[in-house]
Each structure stands twice: as structure tokens, then as C-alpha cells.
């Protein structure tokens, strides 16, 4: 069967959706960005086949797989026709073996043009992890909590600056409050998959790649070690926004969210905040006094971030009296020499 190397597979016709023939649990753990789950076996069926392969024989496992596959073939073709009306698809399983081979046979029998990924999803994972070892022209945007760093990154994007939005990919803003108002976080594997693809989209000749200053973990996902080391050694541009401005910005943002979610975030910090501050912050939430709550919590975050700046190389400080992202985008661009 003709097989495409990964580079050709990823750049094939955009009108040919990527079908992932692995089981739903495999897909949920991690998949090629944009791929559609199109399993040949359910999770339970896959488990039964694997057990039969190990305890009985490969031949029996194949026959069991055919028993599962046969009754579903007609429905699979109908589903494929809905997902790919042009009747052209890209297809893969774990390593380009029997599952994708069987699915290719079925779809080609039904008149589809099928591009099969050589070596399967396993090859995408190998490629994705290798992406994090490549040197990148990172410039890190830092600043105390409430400085509006993510908004500035978006403003830089509007100025045609290459930006890597780690928090956007992680669906988390990095603090104890970071999950509030966000979609559920991906698995670390899927975060890596999306991150590698985002890095791959950056032009090879880009003189800079802007990224927000982050901890190694963003909520439940982790920034890959090689990329994190580059981030820690890259030039750091620190926005210096007055505390009162930051308090007002955060109070406005969190005032729109569920008080119960805010209280849960405070309780996760209680060991670091101390009993009295935790009690006062919880009381402020109950009274709807977001400015007081933010002021109490900000002391902890400011101390933590300031301590983390110690020993960082190439720090450029950019004073500003506003959180306006358009203004601050211009300021951070002006603070660096032209590439």
C-alpha cells in the first residue's frame, strides 16, 4: 500500500480530513492536531483483541478483529462520506499497521482516495518531541500578575510578530485562578502535540518568537524540558505596571466569574497565604469586594514572581502606567533593538 512520510502527510490537501483509526482512549490521550477520531475498534474491543493476541495467538486475534469490524463496515463508510464529502482522506493508526490497513481497504473499496501515514501516530510523536530540541529565537514577555501579558502578546500578533501562546494552548492562565473561565485542559501529550505544531508554523527566518514568562507547569500540563530551558535563558522583557492599575484590571476580570470558583482558588493557596489572609480574602469574595480580594492575594504572587526574576539573564525593564495592550505592545517593541 502506498504510504506518505509525515511531512507529506501533514501538508496534503486541506480538504482531506485526518482520520485517526485508533481506539477512543488512545485518541483522547493524544492525537495529531485537527485529526478526527474514526476508530476501527472500541476501547473494549481493542482490549479483547490485545488479550487474545497475548494469551492465544495472532491468528485468533485477527479473526476476532474481523468479527468486530465486519458488522460496522457499512456504517463506517456512511460516516466517512459525511466527514469527507470530497471522498479524500488522510488516515493513520498507531504505527501504520493492520488497523489503518484494514480501514484503507474499506474506504478505497467505497471509492475514497486514501493517503496513509507511514509509521503512524508514533512517527508524529517522535517528530513533535524533536521539535522542542530545535533552537528558537525566543523573547520572553514577563511582568507581575495583572500586567496584561497575554493581551500584549495578542497585540503583538496583530503587528505580525510571531507569538507562541503557551497559556492558550494549555487552556490555563498559570495561577491558582488560571482554570477559571477556561475550557478543560488537554493532556500533557496533547499539549505537546499542539505546541509542536504551533512551533512548526513559525517562519524559519523569524528573527524573534515572543512567548510569555511561565513556570514549568501550566495548570496540569508541563512545558517540555528542552523548550523550558530555552525559555529560561532567553532575553526577558518585563512590563512594570503600577500595582493599583493591576489590582483594578484583575478585579474587573474576576468580578465576572463565579464566586465559588474564586473561593476554591483561594483555598488552594491557603497554606501559602496563611490563615488570616485566607479568611479575609474569602470574606472579601462573600462581600463582592474584588479589589480587596485581589490586593490580599497579589502580595503572595508579587513576592513569588520577583524572587523568580533573580539570576535571569538579559532582563529589559519597560515601565508603563497602563494595562492597555496596544500601548504596551509598542513599548516592548521599542525597548529592543531592531532585529
Of 110, 129, 148, the residue that ends a domain is 129
105 CB-near residues (< 8 Å, 6+ apart): none
User: Among 38-42, 154-158, 312-316, whose mean pLDDT is lowest?
Assistant: 312-316
228 plus 254 within the same structural domain: yes
Mean pLDDT (the chain, rounded): 93
User: Taking 70 as the threshold, does the pLDDT of residue 57 lie above it?
Assistant: yes
User: pLDDT tens for residues 84-141?
Assistant: 999 999 999 999 888 999 999 999 999 999 999 999 999 999 999 999 999 999 999 9
123 plus 155 within the same structural domain: no
Task: Give the chain's domain count.
Answer: 2
Predicted local confidence at residue 254, as pLDDT: 81
Inter-residue contact 57 to 49 (CB < 8 Å): no
Span 180-206, mean pLDDT?
A: 95
Inter-residue contact 35 to 120 (CB < 8 Å): no
User: Taking 90 as the threshold, does the pLDDT of residue 181 lie above it?
Assistant: no
Angstrom distance (rounded) from CA 280 to CA 292:
9
User: Taking 90 as the threshold, does the pLDDT of residue 308 lie above it?
Assistant: no
Predicted local confidence at residue 227, as pLDDT: 97
| pLDDT over 70 percentage in the chain | 100
113 plus 194 within the same structural domain: no
320 plus 181 within the same structural domain: yes
125 plus 140 within the same structural domain: no
Angstrom distance (rounded) from CA 45 to CA 27:
15
**Domain containing 151 — which CATH number?**
3.40.50
User: pLDDT tens for residues 219-247?
Assistant: 999 999 999 999 999 999 999 999 999 99
Predicted local confidence at residue 1, as pLDDT: 60
- The upper half-sphere exposure of residue 129, i.e. CA atoms within 13 Å in the direction of its Cβ, equals 8
Domain that holds residue 9: 3-129
**Domain containing 17 — which CATH number?**
3.40.250.10
106 CB neighbour count, 10 Å cutoff: 19
Catalytic residues: 93
84 plus 186 within the same structural domain: no
310 plus 223 within the same structural domain: yes
171 plus 114 within the same structural domain: no
User: Taking 80 as the threshold, does the pLDDT of residue 17 lie above it?
Assistant: yes
Amino acid at each position: 500500500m502506498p504510504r506518505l512520510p509525515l511531512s507529506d502527510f501533514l501538508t496534503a490537501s486541506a480538504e482531506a480530513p485526518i482520520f485517526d483509526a485508533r481506539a477512543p482512549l488512545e485518541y483522547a490521550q493524544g492525537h495529531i492536531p485537527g485529526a478526527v477520531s474514526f476508530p476501527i475498534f472500541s476501547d473494549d474491543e481493542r482490549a479483547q483483541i490485545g488479550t487474545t493476541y497475548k494469551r492465544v495467538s495472532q491468528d485468533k486475534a485477527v479473526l476476532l478483529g474481523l468479527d468486530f469490524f465486519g458488522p460496522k463496515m457499512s456504517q463506517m463508510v456512511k460516516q466517512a462520506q459525511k466527514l469527507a464529502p470530497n471522498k479524500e482522506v488522510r488516515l493513520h493508526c498507531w504505527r501504520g499497521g493492520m488497523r489503518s490497513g484494514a480501514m484503507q481497504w474499506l474506504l478505497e473499496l467505497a471509492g475514497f482516495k486514501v493517503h496513509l501515514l507511514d509509521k503512524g501516530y508514533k512517527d508524529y510523536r517522535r517528530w513533535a518531541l524533536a521539535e522542542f530540541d530545535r533552537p528558537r529565537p525566543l523573547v520572553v514577555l514577563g511582568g507581575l500578575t495583572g500586567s496584561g501579558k497575554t493581551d500584549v502578546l495578542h497585540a503583538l500578533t496583530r503587528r505580525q510578530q510571531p507569538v507562541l501562546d503557551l497559556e492558550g494552548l494549555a487552556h490555563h492562565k498559570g495561577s491558582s485562578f488560571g482554570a477559571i473561565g477556561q475550557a478543560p485542559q488537554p493532556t500533557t501529550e496533547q499539549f505537546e502535540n499542539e505546541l509542536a505544531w504551533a512551533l512548526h508554523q513559525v517562519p524559519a527566518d523569524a528573527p524573534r518568537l515572543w512567548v510569555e514568562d511561565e513556570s514549568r507547569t501550566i495548570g496540569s500540563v508541563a512545558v517540555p524540558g528542552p523548550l523550558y530551558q530555552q525559555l529560561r535563558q532567553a532575553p526577558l522583557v518585563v512590563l512594570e505596571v503600577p500595582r493599583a492599575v493591576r489590582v483594578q484590571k484583575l478585579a474587573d476580570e474576576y468580578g465576572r466569574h463565579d464566586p465559588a470558583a474564586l473561593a476554591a482558588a483561594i483555598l488552594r493557596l491557603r497554606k501559602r497565604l496563611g490563615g488570616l489572609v485566607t479568611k479575609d480574602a474569602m470574606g472579601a469574595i462573600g462581600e463582592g469586594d474584588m479589589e480587596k480580594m485581589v490586593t490580599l492575594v497579589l502580595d503572595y504572587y508579587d513576592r513569588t514572581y520577583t524572587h523568580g526574576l533573580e539570576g535571569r539573564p538579559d532582563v529589559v525593564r519597560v515601565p508603563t502606567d497602563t494595562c492597555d495592550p496596544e500601548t504596551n505592545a509598542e513599548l516592548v517593541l521599542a525597548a529592543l533593538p531592531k532585529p
